[in-house]
Amino acid sequence: MSVDSVPANREFAKQLGVTFPILSDFKRTAVKDYGVFNEEQGFGNRATFLIDKEGIIQHIDEGNVAIDPTTVVEACNVLQRKKASP
């Protein structure tokens, strides 16, 4: 997800060869609600949130840490294991 328009993200996805849909927060509502809006620059700072099935945040990566998906992938695995063992 980014604050780019849908057409901009569509072109970006095409260039990258991304197969999944990318969300567009053009009105900057979600980035504000998630506390990552950069007022000076007008965009959302880089961040990754893992949200479980009940809508509870289970993991947050912010800033440059969020470039590397390793920690959030591990958090996903932990969540999956929790589900597997009752």
Partner 1 sequence: MYLRFLMSLVLLAALGGVALAQQPTPPKTHLKVGDPAPEFSLRATDGKTYKLSDFKGKKNVVLAIYVLAFTGG
Binding site for partner 1 (CB under 8 A): 1-4, 6, 8-13, 15, 21-25, 29-31, 33-40, 43-60, 62-63, 66-67, 72, 76, 79
45 contacts 20 by C-beta, under 8 angstroms = no
- Hey, CA dihedral for 47, 17, 52, 2, is it positive or negative? positive
Least distance to partner 1 from the beta carbon of 19, Å?
A: 10
Which tokens hold the place of 4? 């780019």
Least distance to partner 1 from the beta carbon of 70, Å?
A: 13
Residue closer to partner 1, measured from CB, 53 or 70: 53
